[in-house]
Amino acid sequence: MQLKTAVSARSASPWSSIRSLWFPAIIILFAASPAFSDDIAKGSSGWQQRCAGIRTSYNPQTELRSDLLTLETNDPRWPAFLAWVQAQQLATSTLIGLRTSPSTDAGKGIVFRWAPGTPWEQEVVIPFGQALAHLLVEREWRDLDFPQFFTSRGGMYGINLAERLFLLDPHSLTPWQQFFQAITAPSSPSAPLRSGRLSAVAPDGQSISMTFGANRVVPYSAARLSLDLRSILSDCSVYSFFQLYDQQHGAPPVASQQSPAPAASSPKAQSAVAVTPGRTVYDRHCSGCHGVNGDGKGLLATSLRPPPRDFTQGLFRYRSTPTGQLPTDEDLLRTVTAGLPGSLMPAWEPFLNEAERQAVVAYLKQFSPRFAPATPRDVLPLPSPPAATAEGVAQGEKLYRDSGCGSCHGDTGKGDGRSGKDLKTAEGNPIVPRDLTNKWSFHGGHTPQDVFQRLSTGMDGSPMASYRDVFSPTDLWNLIFYILSLSPPERPQLTSPSPAG
Ligand code: HEC
Ligand code: HEC
């Protein structure tokens, strides 16, 4: 797991001068903002009353939509809109907690309160997958950020939050509930980490910075911010912006006979695939990282290196089948259920029931034509390991040296071998060999059998090949015992560099 770390220097960018350019506009906007009474303003019916009958250059002939924000990021009004959003403190949010009560997946998720203290204040339930992508990828939440919580629960390993909570109980949401209870308590030192705000906007409105907690500055694209804004705003609830924009840009253009306001083009509308239960789960929980089209280019994972798997390639690493063959449904289900430790692929058992996990597996297979013919798969044998002996480990060390593992993984297994520097995946993304001295970071698990499976199947799409035809099973076991001997007997604990949480 490697993340491009957001640089805080970004906040002191030349954009600050741009913001001052907008200053006069902001003053006018503040002055002109209508005084709202809370009861009218909150809820869409309140807004509907307010925007009824209002016509601007954006909606010359129709009512403003109260169900949707249709303003596109390439609209000429967009940069001014963001300046207005920033001035009204609309893009300010606080994480409130978990909602688990409804029996259907649709109402469950992580709750954020947006625009607190403004007429636009609203609680939004974000689907678990999207919220995880936000917390893990964009905010980079790790156990080290929350020492109070984890020190009393077995300590910290320097891993992402979802993986650490999964280790507390892989089958339920209880650790998540306890975690959110702890960090939302008024006395919690982690309280500041829960909030975020729009902190800088480039003049073209396309590059944006969000700041989370005290100083974690995260670059956003316009498309990314627009996703958040669409969850809290409608054309109707921002009618005062459209009015002010016209005031500042003179009379509305005459030629705007076209309207109604353009409908938001959603990627879903463009795709011909039918809406199935699997697709619903995928769009809600997986698309933020893997992309709505399965190409690994999710809007919330643009900074993730290597990126989430591109399903359109049909190449999977964690299989029970020989090199070149597709994974079985059970292989995919296992990955989805337990996640891939050491990566940002979360475990879904706490969040999705078995039927939902099966449905999403069926759906993700549709992204690659490789799955189309129902080709039979061979499942490679997975024997029980023999007892490890000192001679076996010594033999394994010799095999490690003789067979070139060290050229990539390094002589001591740290993952720093000379040929390991410029490796690429089949999709062309850089990848580094695993650190073999930390078996807890093996994505496919670290029991002897897990490692046996990786070495015999190979990891398709990655430079890590199959060694099934290279070694006898006995040699393979010895090699594995040697590799596992490189890790300390107990998982090393870390202490927080800065006790922020
Ligand atoms: C927070 C981002 C994130 C989310 C959300 C996410 N994934 Fe992943 N996923 C990843 C990453 C990163 C990888 C690649 C990890 C690796 O190479 O070890 C991955 C890999 C995978 C793989 C490939 C396994 C293999 O054998 O190669 C599958 C299958 C998968 N994810 C399914 C899902 C499904 C289904 C969902 C939604 C229920 C989902 N993912 C949600 C980040 C995510
Ligand atoms: C060409 C470079 C290269 C060589 C040679 C190589 N590896 Fe790897 N290995 C990798 C890379 C890259 C990964 C990470 C793959 C990924 O995440 O997709 C990896 C991953 C692994 C993993 C982790 C599997 C998991 O579940 O995360 C183990 C164990 C491993 N290699 C052992 C070996 C052994 C033993 C040898 C020699 C027999 C070897 N490797 C040779 C590049 C190499």
Number of domains making up the chain? 3
Answer whether residue 222 shows pLDDT above 70: yes
- Give residue 374's pLDDT: 82
Q: What percent of the chain has pLDDT over 90?
A: 79
In this structure, the residue with its CA closest to atom 1 of ligand 2 is 463
In this structure, the residue with its CA closest to atom 40 of ligand 2 is 405
291-316 average pLDDT score: 94
Answer whether residue 315 shows pLDDT above 50: yes
pLDDT tens per residue across span 137-185: 999 999 999 999 999 999 999 999 999 999 999 999 999 999 999 999 9
Residues 358 and 457 in one domain: no
SS3 417: coil
Q: Show Cβ contacts of residue 203 under 8 Å, excluding neighbours closer than 6 positions.
A: 15, 18, 21, 79
Please give the number of the atom of ligand 1 that sits closest to the Cα of 130.
5
- Give residue 101's pLDDT: 81
Tell me 114's DSSP state. E
Residues 363 and 437 in one domain: no
Q: Kindly state whether residue 339 falls inside one of the protein's structural domains.
A: yes
Q: What spacing in Å lies between the alpha carbon of 114 and ligand 1's midpoint?
A: 29
Answer whether residue 500 shows pLDDT above 70: no
Please count the helices (runs of H) and the strands (runs of E) in the chain. Answer: 20, 8
Buried b (16+ CB within 10 A) or exposed e, 338-372: bbbbbbbbbbbbbbbeeebbbbbbbbbbbbbeebe
Residues 214 and 124 in one domain: yes
Residues 11 and 145 in one domain: yes
Residues 156 and 8 in one domain: yes
- Say if ligand 1 is within 6 A of residue 290 CB: yes
- Say if ligand 1 is within 6 A of residue 288 CB: yes
Residues 412 and 339 in one domain: no
**What's the pLDDT band for 251 if we cut at 50, 70, 90?**
low
355-361 average pLDDT score: 97
Q: Residue 88 has which token pair?
A: 């009204």
Residues 167 and 222 in one domain: yes
SS3 467: coil
Q: Show Cβ contacts of residue 325 under 8 Å, excluding neighbours closer than 6 positions.
A: 319, 375, 377, 378
The secondary structure element, H or E, covering residue 195 is strand 195-201
Measured between alpha carbons, how far apart are the two ends of the chain, in Å? 22
Q: What spacing in Å lies between the alpha carbon of 361 and ligand 1's midpoint?
A: 11
CATH of the domain at 451: 1.10.760.10
**Where do the DSSP E strands lie in 101-166?**
109-114, 122-126
Q: Which amino acid is at 91?
A: A
Q: Kindly state whether residue 322 falls inside one of the protein's structural domains.
A: yes
Domain termination site, one of 371, 405, 438: 371
Residues 223 and 351 in one domain: no
Counting ligands in written order, the one closest to the CA of 433 is 2
- Give residue 107's pLDDT: 80
Residues 363 and 275 in one domain: yes
- Give residue 396's pLDDT: 98
Counting ligands in written order, the one closest to the CA of 299 is 1
Domain, as residue range, for 107: 2-15+93-230
Whole-angstrom distance, CA of residue 244 vs CA of residue 432:
52
Counting ligands in written order, the one closest to the CA of 449 is 2
Rounded to the nearest integer, the mean pLDDT of the chain is 87
337-347 average pLDDT score: 97
Residues 9 and 136 in one domain: yes
Residues 199 and 114 in one domain: yes
Mutation choice for ligand 2 from 304, 407, 409, 442, CB with most ligand atoms inside 8 A? 409
Q: Kindly state whether residue 304 falls inside one of the protein's structural domains.
A: yes
Q: Residue 171 has which token pair?
A: 């089958």
Residues 9 and 139 in one domain: yes
Whole-angstrom distance, CA of residue 180 vs CA of residue 191:
10
Q: Kindly state whether residue 185 falls inside one of the protein's structural domains.
A: yes
